[in-house]
Structure 1
Amino acid sequence: MNNNINYVNHWIIEETTFNPQWLGKYEAIMAQGNGYLGLRASTEESYTNETRNLFVAGTFNQFSKNEVTELPNIPDIINMELVIDGETLDLNRGTVLDYSRQIDYQTGELTRQFIWETTQKKQIRFEFRRNVSNIDLHFIKQEVRVTPLSGKTKIDVTSGINGRVTNSGSQHFIEWDKRKKEDILQMNLQTTESDVKATVSTKHAFYLNDKPVLDKRDLQIFRRQIFETVTQLVDKNDTFIIEKTSSVFTSRDFDYLEDQSVEEVATKATQEVNQTYAEFNQLIKEKWQATYQEAEVIIESKNVMDQLLLNFSRYHLMIMTHPYDNRVNIGAKGLSGEGYKGHTFWDTEIFILPYFTFCYPKIAKNLIEYRYQILPGARKKASDNGYLGAQIPWESAWISDGEVTPLYGDVDIITGTQTKILTGLIEDHVSSDVVYGITQYLKVTGEKESSIYRQLVLEIALFWTSRAEKNSLGIYEIKDVIGPDEYKEHVDNNTYTNTMAKFTVDLAIDILQVISEEEFKQIRGCLNNLNQTELLERLVDFSENLVIPTVNKKGILPQDDTYLDKKELDITSYKNHPLVNQIFKEYNLDQINERQVSKQADVLLLMTLFFEKFTPEEIIKNFDYYETRTVHDSSLSLSTHSILASLLGNTELAYDFFEKLITIDLGKNMHSSDQGIHSASMGGVWQSVVFGFGGLKYDMNHENLYIQPILPKEWESLTYQFYYQGQKIEVFVGKDTFEVKNVSASKENVSFYYQGVQYNSGEKIKIIR
């Protein structure tokens, strides 16, 4: 824990002191990107504990046969060696004065400044600025200003491209060549297994007090490295300026013609970028402003952290999500670290996709189309497991990779052996999570169902009918699964899983009743060659006879067949501990599996997604029961509890959970984000604000929009915007009233429900408590 994070305002966080033990935290939470590439906030100078990561979405590679595919670390273009009168800049040596590193989430700019007093007692002011373009997605620009404060100083700068990077030891690139073309340093590479070609380029410009320096550059080429060194004498209070422009292009880009090489495209594009850093940064700032204004969310709160957390989350949601490419999705750590290898989980559809569905539907459509493109891998997984139809991989990477979940994870504290990862084998709810997310998108946006959507639903529905087992009474059971609560393995009839399976099958039944004979013929080969009547009978039988647990006499909805019969355990110390996974210091997963202990929301998540199916009394009883048994060891859990507490009208509890979301990445735990930020939590923050306190809900069963806001006492007002059926809607919520406006050009009336009564946009409504 520490106290060196300063929350400057609604948009800016600051690192106030340098500590080499905390590099990982700031590298992640201050990461930059644009959805195409992601850059960790490593410093220009090197340190032992750093993790220098630069990723390009979709460039997955498998290092060896016993490892799964992962996003490869692109050669480093940020590093600079700065030598002052023969002494290399190193903040572990000498004295550091007036240190500040800040990121502005409103503009994406990362800045750092300090005065360094060398061991020779010479003082130098350093100023660093850096940004990643959100206009031309391939470019990164840096500016470094060095000002001697003690007298004439010799400054040596060595900068270029360092290809000696790995993913925790795995080297994913074959180096082709490196060279200098006019003023551009360039390195060409190719991934070892997936054959993705990459060209990394960089060029420098040097100034003294804003005037170009006629510098002599010494070129240095080593194995996997190409640098150039410049030496400059600088008088006291004069400023030596280094501007560095870098780019990354790969063979998976859309940005070049087939008759051109990646190298040719990269060279031409890099030559044409001649903006100063200030010009480059201004354009980025304007684009960020326009992006945020597409769907504003403004909180008037007594606590500056509320709006800051929301802005932090929206920023990271945008920099982790490609704005154009439908062949890539969102990793569990975005593009901010090596955690989870860049793989996509159910996190996208349940926690992240709703943000884009309601705020940036064009981007949401890309995420959906990615799932259509991984259908071949889903069919293969189902076939390999002996099932029909399509079984969505638990972890997905490139569209042709199929299932990429690792087989082994952490060490078992009791047995001392590596734990087998079962999620890729039996955590099957992801298949229906995908269906849920896509269906929500179609209904909220009003977009017509496509043939590929119908095919996906039918194939996944067929999978469920083969995944389930029919007992002697003619009842279908889904056995040996893991539900959202991953502390319960090998359970039967997980309520969340079964309900989501029935949701999918019921959609498929509806589709079969309207699909044309010709369209069905085209996809019949992917449906075990069943004819339309045979498939419909199979689906109806499943839907009517699938076990769907119901609330017991005490009003509790069983999480699965055995959860309520397990022994209870006092988890107070684990819930109150500032670090997660503390329970594993005393128990292994097999032991936890036999206790009423949950990692995250399971039944309560189901009640959040299908709120219309449960009475308030049922939700209250189950909330009280399951929350006391949940340790919240998953970053996915807190937002669900916050939303549900808001739905119940308990704003004090909802706000308490919302405040705890701050601790996941922005809190004082200096190692919570070492492997990257928590992507799903970013979506959960927005959902807690808009779905929770803002009361925005869509009932897919009845196709109704609900707006039922209720603010915590700490907030004066909440304003949020979203898109619905092609209209841009703005909701203003005050303490006692709220108003819904159509702020799109059409100004059409939009109807919604509040407390069971239908209203129209433009009306001011009194909040009922």
Structure 2
Amino acid sequence: MNQDYIKPNSWSIIEEGFDADRVESSESLFSIGNGAMGQRANFEETYTGETFQGSYIAGVYYPDKTRVGWWKNGYPEYFAKVLNAPNWIGIDVQVNGVTLDLNTCKKIEGFRRELNMQEGWLSRTFRVTMPNGVDLKVETKRFLSLDIDELGAIQYNVTPLNGDAEITFTPYLDNGITNKDTNWDDKFWDVLNVSNAGEQAFIEARTMKTDFYVCTYMESQVSINGKTLNLEPSSYTENNKVAFEYKTEVNSEDTYTITKYAGYTVDRNHDKSKLVSAAKKVLKEAVNTGFDALLDKQKEAWASIWERADITIEGDVKAQQGIRFNIFQLNQTYLGTDSRLNIGPKGFTGEKYGGSTYWDTEAYCIPFYMATKDQSVAKTLLEYRYNHLDRAIENAQKLGFTNGAALYPMVTMNGEECHNEWEITFEEIHRNGAIAFAIYNYYRYTGDYSYIPEKGLEVLIGIARFWQQRANFSKDKNKYVILGVTGPNEYENNINNNWYTNYLAQWCINYALESIEKVEAEYQSDFARIAKKVKLTSAEIALWKAVADNMYFPYSEKHKVFLQQDGFLDKELISVSELPKSVRPINQHWSWDRILRSPYIKQADVLQGFYFFEDQFTDEELANHFDFYEPLTVHESSLSPCVHSIQAAKLGRMEQAYTFYLRTSRLDLDDYNHEVHEGLHITSMAGTWMSIVEGFGGMRIKEDKLAFTPQIPEKWDSYSFKVNFRDSIVKVNVSKTETNFELEGDKELQILVNDNLVTIAPNNLVTV
């Protein structure tokens, strides 16, 4: 049974009514972020019920030593923990000496929580009867500034309803936090200094082992009915905590307000000895600007993002809410302003999946960022991998590869592999292919070849070297084979000749060879520099070519399909439709042994390959493979439904495409996999965008032009989206009867619509 408590709304995520059982799920769903930091939607006031406290700073992590029963050569030394950072949102509230706590209140009425995605803020309102009989109304609003990305702001209002009351606000900073997941219960933070001056407070701390220096800071102001109070707060400090107390008498029906400005300054952006002075500078700007004006700037910043990235859907509120939630969370996680950062699969919403960078970025996120922002953002993501090339070569060396072969990590913070499950760390090597494909995809979409001679070719060479060494020649098959791998379908481990992995290996080598040829012919000085640096020889290139030309692909003549892997047909092929709902998701009900022997697919590797390399296969081949694998796919990877949605749309199966679209867009909102309390699936959210733009809109690059084959789900009246293609913004609006194209830019653009050439001119509507 999926959850169903989020109210349908086109621009907001809304929860009505308080239910302690869903607090942790809501903390994930209502998370906020600004690319530099983020936090789960924890309550500001005390809450003694079940909660998952979480605040996170982009790029700050801890190398938690790997915990395994016995060591394997080549094992990563550590698992990178996305660190729970010092908590700055806390505001304890006492009324006549009794603490406000929704877990102990006699009555809670009118509870409403809203995440306004259009304007970028989180609010709560509720009325309570406290254990001492006092009736209160509480209203809160908070946001993380996009304008000043080291700053967050909270406005917290309390109104006594049945008599005068003595109310105390205690805003605090707390560095005594721990991670929910830790291998050895290590201490992650070392507090260096706790200080306060006037109404400002600071905690300076550093992370153990990684030595990130962070200053957590705050300043508060109080008022009654909007009139500032000059209350002299009392203060107290402990080893890990600093707090102020603002106590005053409040008349019945008057509103007592605390406005709190807080956040982090980090040594990624400042000298570590000047973090407090940097924090003071931010606080001065925040206080001088004021909460309302800061909120106005927040609204403007989000309006600018939505102007380019929004997708509108008429006639289906749940579908509209789903896509905007996905676009909103992607922008909260990564804005492309810092090349040292990447897109973590949980973003700032939880701690699962240590590390910040997976192959998801290249396979799913780059298309979203290319089309909804300036192409420089996507190029920054490619450069992130180039900057980690030396580490990728080191990662391969640890596993016994030589001569500059590069194996990019499955999970990383700094380029070093930090994933702890051997069948993924050593065997899920298809990730290398996604990184090469992203380079190809960037050039295909933007037309900007400059990255390849400057940096990309070195990456492609390192990857080609890896594939040539990872394959071995089978005398029995008279072909090159790749043994002992795990594909994207992690429900098959340590298998031989995963079709997707073998196909990627062949493609990567061929693309490297093609790129070498082009760079050598057209960018001679770059080629000479690179060939000398990496010691490239014609004899080595001949070895690569032999592997690519003679790669083995498992195939079934009986079913006319490429096989997931050599032994796939040895399984008992029973359709997912025959599985009782009570055992779904199977990863929460079955033993791993049973899953590995079953035919059930977490995400279909073969169809992922057909998605990447669509032009290499006919529609008839796609239909045959889709019909063979989809009935066996349980979609328990967040990355699965979007690819199926795109392919169902390509095959004209719009009802099925729509069903998959809803599943990907509302994966977290409706908690399909019963795990949203752990955090959101950020990187797969880019797949939701792809489901509409590439699936329903049919956007492709054909003949070096933007191409569309628009379709519309039956439940929708119309939908629209924009794409930034080579410095022209194309707006596409699809209805039941026609498709309209508009162009923002200063030059006309030729596009293909249903394979017909159409010319669109700036500010001139074209209807097809």
TM tier, smaller: over 0.9
For 2:272 and 2:177, locate their aligned partners in 1 and report how far apart those are by CA, in whole Å.
30
The residue number in structure 1 matching 2:126 is: 114
For 1:119 and 1:554, locate their aligned partners in 2 and report how far apart those are by CA, in whole Å.
68
User: Are the structure 2 counterparts of residues 573 and 143 from structure 1 closer, same or farther at C-alpha, using a change threshold of 3 Å?
Assistant: farther
Contact 1:132/1:139 (CA < 8 Å) preserved in 2? yes
Shift of 1:436: 0.8
Deviation digits for residues 344-364 of structure 1 (CA, Å, limit 9, x no counterpart)? 211111122210011112322
Deviation digits for residues 646-700 of structure 1 (CA, Å, limit 9, x no counterpart)? 000110111111122354210166952112100132111111111111111235x
The residue number in structure 2 matching 1:514 is: 518
The residue number in structure 1 matching 2:217 is: 201
The residue number in structure 2 matching 1:622 is: 625
Alignment partner of 1:562 is 2:562? no
User: Are the structure 2 counterparts of residues 576 and 125 from structure 1 closer, same or farther at C-alpha, using a change threshold of 3 Å?
Assistant: same
For 1:590 and 1:668, locate their aligned partners in 2 and report how far apart those are by CA, in whole Å.
26
Which of 217, 226, 240 is the matching residue for 2:233?
Answer: 217
The residue number in structure 1 matching 2:550 is: 545
Alignment partner of 1:74 is 2:75? no
The residue number in structure 1 matching 2:371 is: 358
Residue type of the partner of 1:219?
A: S
For 2:266 and 2:593, locate their aligned partners in 1 and report how far apart those are by CA, in whole Å.
45
For 2:120 and 2:267, locate their aligned partners in 1 and report how far apart those are by CA, in whole Å.
27
Contact 1:696/1:706 (CA < 8 Å) preserved in 2? yes
Q: Which runs of 5+ in 2 are unaligned?
A: 68-77
For 1:632 and 1:697, locate their aligned partners in 2 and report how far apart those are by CA, in whole Å.
25
User: Are the structure 2 counterparts of residues 2 and 425 from structure 1 closer, same or farther at C-alpha, using a change threshold of 3 Å?
Assistant: closer
Alignment partner of 1:613 is 2:616? yes
Alignment partner of 1:162 is 2:174? yes
Task: Give matches, 1:79-478, under 5 Å.
Answer: 79-92=90-103, 93-168=105-180, 169-253=185-269, 256=270, 258=271, 261-274=274-287, 275-301=289-315, 303-360=316-373, 361-388=375-402, 389-400=404-415, 402-407=416-421, 421-450=422-451, 451-472=454-475, 475-478=479-482
Contact 1:134/1:287 (CA < 8 Å) preserved in 2? yes
Residue type of the partner of 1:135?
A: D
The residue number in structure 1 matching 2:658 is: 655
The residue number in structure 2 matching 1:498 is: 502
Aligned length: 740
The residue number in structure 1 matching 2:724 is: 723
Shift of 1:469: 0.6
Residue type of the partner of 1:739?
A: N
Aligned partner of residue 507 in structure 2, secondary structure: helix
User: Are the structure 2 counterparts of residues 463 and 656 from structure 1 closer, same or farther at C-alpha, using a change threshold of 3 Å?
Assistant: same
Residue type of the partner of 1:198?
A: V
Contact 1:575/1:631 (CA < 8 Å) preserved in 2? no
Shift of 1:266: 1.9
Which segment drifts farther, 544-553 or 273-282? Answer: 544-553
What is the TM-score when the length of structure 2 is the normalising length?
0.92
For 1:113 and 1:2, locate their aligned partners in 2 and report how far apart those are by CA, in whole Å.
26
For 1:627 and 1:669, locate their aligned partners in 2 and report how far apart those are by CA, in whole Å.
18
Task: Give matches, 1:724-763, under 5 Å.
Answer: 724-744=725-745, 746-752=746-752, 754=754, 756-761=755-760
User: Are the structure 2 counterparts of residues 304 and 21 from structure 1 closer, same or farther at C-alpha, using a change threshold of 3 Å?
Assistant: same
For 1:602 and 1:297, locate their aligned partners in 2 and report how far apart those are by CA, in whole Å.
29
For 2:272 and 2:399, locate their aligned partners in 1 and report how far apart those are by CA, in whole Å.
42
For 2:191 and 2:272, locate their aligned partners in 1 and report how far apart those are by CA, in whole Å.
22
Residue type of the partner of 1:539?
A: W
The residue number in structure 1 matching 2:75 is: none
User: Are the structure 2 counterparts of residues 575 and 338 from structure 1 closer, same or farther at C-alpha, using a change threshold of 3 Å?
Assistant: farther
Which segment drifts farther, 312-321 or 466-475? Answer: 466-475
Residue type of the partner of 1:113?
A: T
Deviation digits for residues 371-423 of structure 1 (CA, Å, limit 9, x no counterpart)? 111111110111111124343444333325x001024xxxxxxxxxxxxx411
Which segment drifts farther, 62-71 or 176-185? Answer: 62-71
Which segment drifts farther, 148-157 or 471-480? Answer: 471-480
Shift of 1:519: 3.5
Which segment drifts farther, 144-153 or 341-350? Answer: 341-350
For 1:712 and 1:76, locate their aligned partners in 2 and report how far apart those are by CA, in whole Å.
44
Task: Give matches, 1:656-675, under 5 Å.
Answer: 656-667=659-670, 671-675=674-678
User: Are the structure 2 counterparts of residues 698 and 562 from structure 1 closer, same or farther at C-alpha, using a change threshold of 3 Å?
Assistant: farther
Residue type of the partner of 1:171?
A: K
User: Are the structure 2 counterparts of residues 215 and 671 from structure 1 closer, same or farther at C-alpha, using a change threshold of 3 Å?
Assistant: farther
Deviation digits for residues 153-191 of structure 1 (CA, Å, limit 9, x no counterpart)? 000111110111111254311000110133210000001
Aligned partner of residue 55 in structure 1, secondary structure: strand
For 2:726 and 2:2, locate their aligned partners in 1 and report how far apart those are by CA, in whole Å.
47
Shift of 1:612: 1.7
User: Are the structure 2 counterparts of residues 2 and 742 from structure 1 closer, same or farther at C-alpha, using a change threshold of 3 Å?
Assistant: closer
For 2:588 and 2:91, locate their aligned partners in 1 and report how far apart those are by CA, in whole Å.
41
For 1:686 and 1:117, locate their aligned partners in 2 and report how far apart those are by CA, in whole Å.
44
Contact 2:663/2:672 (CA < 8 Å) preserved in 1? no
Contact 1:58/1:397 (CA < 8 Å) preserved in 2? no
Shift of 1:584: 5.3
Which segment drifts farther, 667-676 or 369-378? Answer: 667-676
Shift of 1:545: 1.3
Which of 583, 589, 603 is the matching residue for 1:585?
Answer: 589
Which segment drifts farther, 710-719 or 515-524? Answer: 515-524
The residue number in structure 2 matching 1:688 is: 691
Contact 1:34/1:321 (CA < 8 Å) preserved in 2? yes
Aligned partner of residue 94 in structure 2, secondary structure: strand
Alignment partner of 1:534 is 2:548? no
Contact 1:70/1:343 (CA < 8 Å) preserved in 2? no
For 1:226 and 1:507, locate their aligned partners in 2 and report how far apart those are by CA, in whole Å.
57
For 2:694 and 2:4, locate their aligned partners in 1 and report how far apart those are by CA, in whole Å.
33
Deviation digits for residues 99-143 of structure 1 (CA, Å, limit 9, x no counterpart)? 111111111111101111122322111111101101111000000
For 1:47 and 1:670, locate their aligned partners in 2 and report how far apart those are by CA, in whole Å.
27
Alpha-carbon RMSD across the aligned residues, in angstroms, is: 2.2
Residue type of the partner of 1:338?
A: E
Which segment drifts farther, 704-713 or 685-694? Answer: 704-713
Deviation digits for residues 48-95 of structure 1 (CA, Å, limit 9, x no counterpart)? 421221111111222446441222111101111101112111112211
Residue type of the partner of 2:53?
A: R
Shift of 1:710: 0.8
Deviation digits for residues 466-506 of structure 1 (CA, Å, limit 9, x no counterpart)? 11112236521111111111111122221111221222111
User: Are the structure 2 counterparts of residues 431 and 300 from structure 1 closer, same or farther at C-alpha, using a change threshold of 3 Å?
Assistant: same
Contact 1:22/1:671 (CA < 8 Å) preserved in 2? no
Aligned partner of residue 547 in structure 1, secondary structure: coil
For 1:13 and 1:584, locate their aligned partners in 2 and report how far apart those are by CA, in whole Å.
28
Shift of 1:580: 5.0
Shift of 1:507: 1.4
Which segment drifts farther, 176-185 or 381-390? Answer: 381-390
User: Are the structure 2 counterparts of residues 55 and 392 from structure 1 closer, same or farther at C-alpha, using a change threshold of 3 Å?
Assistant: farther
Deviation digits for residues 532-569 of structure 1 (CA, Å, limit 9, x no counterpart)? x2232222222211224456353222122221232223
Q: Which runs of 5+ in 1 are unaligned?
A: 408-420
Residue type of the partner of 1:623?
A: F
Which segment drifts farther, 60-69 or 337-346? Answer: 60-69
Aligned partner of residue 470 in structure 1, secondary structure: strand
